[in-house]
Amino acid sequence: MEEYRLKGLSCPNCAAGMEQQIQKLEYGESAQIQYNSGKLKVDKRVNLTQVEKILDSDHASIVKDEDAHEHSHNHSNIKMLLGISTTIFLVALLLDAATTITAVPFYLAAIILSGYQTFVKGLRNLTKLTFNIETLMTIALIGAVSIGEWKEGTLVAILFGLNEYLEGLGMEKARRSMESLLQIAPKEALLIRDGKEVIVSINDLQVDDLVLIKSGAKIPSDGIVTEGYSSVNEAAITGEAMPVEKSVGESVFGGSINNEGILRVKITKSYEDSSLAKILHLVEEAQETKTPTELFINRFSRYYTPIIMIISALVMLVPPLFFQGIWTDWFYQGLAVLIVGCPCALILSSPIANISGITRNARNGILVKGSVYLEQLGKIDTLAFDKTGTLTKGFPYVETYKSYHEEKFLAVAAAVEKHSSHPLAKAIMKKVADFPYRELEATNVETVSGQGIVADVVGKRYWVGNEKSVQHVPIPQDVQVSIDQMKREGLTLVLVADERTILGMFGIADEIREESQTVIHALHHAGIKNTVMLTGDHEKTAEKVANRVGVRSYFGGLLPEDKVAKVKELTSNGKVAMIGDGINDAPALASADLGIAMGKGTDSAIETADIVLMQDHLGKLPEAVSIAKRVNRTIRVNIALALGLKLIALLLTIPGLLTLWIAILSDMGATILVTLISLTILWERKEKAKPTIKKEIEPQHS
């Protein structure tokens, strides 16, 4: 498939019509015109000359490299024509008022300048019996001129041209906001080949290539630092403003910016397989997905215009035929009703808002894979969280410890655990490092499966592990009390003992993320009614984490299939989103109405979920929910405005007060309003944090 950028796309319906014509060409079956992004995708075997002829019939064209700059001037040309036609119209009004000279040539010139494109399209559509906005406007203009309403006909042509200009301007603004996001991709890389620096296109980079990243340069693709130290701005990927320190052995994302030092990076993925390329591809595709609301509006529009034409005919015929109405008066009213039939504002009520919402989230490092998922996010009332790696950091830390022999406890624990790579051993070594202790060496280190480690330290035998590992020693009452207390708190125990007594114990837990409690409260404030934690850990651990972070209910001891069942149960009572790491929680993510993965750019997360948080925390989630809800509210307001203004205009036909200029103003006013309201979503507002109220946790059991 070849991809081309288009200019001159005037409306979604026109784009759909051209797409159907291109699909009738040889090899054109798979052709797509993406109105929202202004692009054409077509089989490379299609006759491009015929494609350009079809595009030209609607005054659209393919943007060539040599005239790409004209695209930015397209709206300026339209604005100039509108300015000239308005000036001529004002001259005609003065002639009408001050002289006996006929102003008809001036009115005609103004109509031609501002409405000739509409007129040509409308006549062509009439010959094909295709009824859309251009057809309606052409009939209305011919009708107005035929009954001598030159002044109003000209005003309608100018206002409709202005309406089309503003409509295109609004859509172009939304497209530019998305395009500016897509411009973050680097174009070239500084490849180190045979000891020399060579500038190459990023598309020519291969896995294991070595590239040099100078200060201020973009990293061309995902890779690993092999030499150097610097801070890197990853905002393009994760939405995080704070730079991240990078040194040898650490991974970097393509599209991130090297702040100050010089880095040598070994490429681990070709650009097309990089996190950035996948993100940009998915964001671009997301513009073209249709939500249920958009699909309904499109279906409604197909019936709306014919219904308006029938109403127009009735307005023209019924009063004169049955109520002695004056033919010219009601013919004029019928023409005004035709203009009210323009569905532009209604069709625009959704796509600009959705593009703005997707773009705004993408800026924050939140990848929404389509408008349909954005709409779903705005309707979610229940959020289900996996615990490990989502609400918690996913690695253990020592929360508390008890020492019954200060001199030996930490020294022996450190001597034994430094020989282990187990996560619990690493947590103990990190804790022990906070205290002064005598460094000892362990020998004859032996791992006992399901229990822990046995080793000799300074000629004596020691045991480090769970309760089973210390069954050979009597446990005093005060020690047993401490053991029971830690177990009630949901902590994992690691005890240290010699041949005769317990030296001490560590209480280890999965560390809760600092932001989890704030995020949960913010989600409740954003309108999420129910937050649920699902975990495979035992009930005490689940209860402890739930109380700490503030989720409203929790379920512990769940196997992966239990999580799926629980998610399905929750979906029977409302719209449910499941949040996990995108790997282990894939079945539960797929079972929910909406799957949200915490990715930090991992391939599996991007491929698994409907929405991906490119950070390794939940901090941006409440804002994503708020943006989605705002998009849904905006679309509802837009639809109400689009239909409401038209209804008011139609009601004016009852007393015979509807005029051509009122009709066109009702449509133009609605178009301007829905465009401006939709574009406000792009404005980033800092909302003040509201005080949070601690909620009671409802213990639940699976």
Q: How far apart are CA 335 and CA 283, in angstroms?
A: 43
Contact present, 699 and 554 (Cβ < 8 Å): yes
Lowest-confidence pick of 155-169, 209-223, 471-485, 665-679: 155-169
The residue among 99, 102, 97, 88 whose CA lies nearest residue 154 is: 88
Residue 300 half-sphere exposure toward CB, CA atoms < 13 A = 17
- CB proximity list for 511: less than 8 A, separation 6 or greater: 392, 393, 395, 396, 397
Strand spans (E) along 208-302: 210-213, 223-227, 230-233, 244-246, 251-252, 257-258, 263-267
In the predicted structure, residue 317 carries a pLDDT above the cut 70: yes
Alpha-carbon separation of residue 18 from 21, 71, 234, 289 (angstroms): 5, 20, 41, 19
Alpha-carbon separation of residue 448 from 55, 453, 466 (angstroms): 75, 6, 11
Indicate the CATH number for domain 393-512. Answer: 3.40.1110.10
The residue among 132, 170, 138 whose CA lies nearest residue 20 is: 132
- The predicted structure's pLDDT at residue 170: 65
In the predicted structure, residue 304 carries a pLDDT above the cut 80: no
* Residues with catalytic roles: 386
In angstroms, how far is CA 12 from the centroid of its own chain? Answer: 22
Average pLDDT, the chain: 81
Q: How confident is the model at residue 688 (pLDDT cuts 50, 70, 90)?
A: very low
Specify the 3-state DSSP secondary structure of 481: helix
* Rounded mean pLDDT, 408-437: 88
**Token pair listed for 157:** 């042509």
**In this structure, which amino acid lies at residue 141?**
L
**In this structure, which amino acid lies at residue 521?**
H
More confident residue, 118 or 540: 540
Instruction: Report DSSP letters for 206-235, one per residue.
Output: -TT-EEEE-TTPBP-SSEEEEE--EEEE-H
Tokens 């279906």 found at: 299
User: Right CATH number for 354-387+513-624 from 3.40.50.1000, 3.30.450.20, 3.40.309.10, 3.30.230.70?
Assistant: 3.40.50.1000
In the predicted structure, residue 678 carries a pLDDT above the cut 80: yes
Q: How far apart are CA 687 and CA 629, in angstroms?
A: 15
Q: How far apart are CA 684 and CA 601, in angstroms?
A: 24
pLDDT tens for 359-377 read: 888 888 888 888 888 999 9
In the predicted structure, residue 164 carries a pLDDT above the cut 90: no
Percent of the chain with pLDDT over 90: 17
* Rounded mean pLDDT, 665-684: 82
Instruction: Report DSSP letters for 686-698, one per residue.
Output: -PPPPPP-PPPPE
Any idea where the domains of the chain sit in the sequence?
2-68, 188-277, 354-387+513-624, 393-512
Residues forming beta bridges with residue 452, ordered by sequence position: 448, 465
Contact present, 377 and 628 (Cβ < 8 Å): yes
User: Helix/strand/coil (H, E, C) string of 346-362?
Assistant: HHHCCHHHHHHHHHHHH
In the predicted structure, residue 630 carries a pLDDT above the cut 90: yes
Sheet with strand 32-34: strands edge to edge: 32-34, 39-42, 2-7, 61-62
The residue among 216, 204, 203 whose CA lies nearest residue 256 is: 216
**In this structure, which amino acid lies at residue 419?**
H
Full-model pTM:
0.71
- The predicted structure's pLDDT at residue 583: 58
At the second CATH level, the architecture of 2-68 is 2-Layer Sandwich (3.30)
Q: How confident is the model at residue 183 (pLDDT cuts 50, 70, 90)?
A: low
Residues forming beta bridges with residue 612, ordered by sequence position: 367, 597
**In this structure, which amino acid lies at residue 231?**
S
**Token pair listed for 59:** 């005054």
Angle at 71 between CA 65 and CA 74, to 5 degrees: 150
pLDDT tens for 89-104 read: 888 888 877 776 678 8
62 CB-contact burial (10 Å; exposed 0-12 / middle 13-18 / buried 19+): middle
**In this structure, which amino acid lies at residue 527?**
G
Q: How far apart are CA 240 and CA 653, in angstroms?
A: 56
Identical topology for domains 188-277 and 354-387+513-624: no
**Token pair listed for 85:** 């036609």
In the predicted structure, residue 68 carries a pLDDT above the cut 50: no
- The predicted structure's pLDDT at residue 413: 93
Lowest-confidence pick of 181-195, 198-212, 504-518: 181-195
Residues forming beta bridges with residue 598, ordered by sequence position: 613
In the predicted structure, residue 698 carries a pLDDT above the cut 60: no
**Token pair listed for 452:** 């822990």
**Token pair listed for 217:** 């340069």
CB count in 10 Å sphere of residue 255? 26
Q: Has domain 188-277 been given CATH number 3.10.580.10?
A: no
More confident residue, 16 or 337: 337
Q: How far apart are CA 162 and CA 442, in angstroms?
A: 84
Residues forming beta bridges with residue 196, ordered by sequence position: 193
CB count in 10 Å sphere of residue 618? 25
In the predicted structure, residue 448 carries a pLDDT above the cut 80: yes
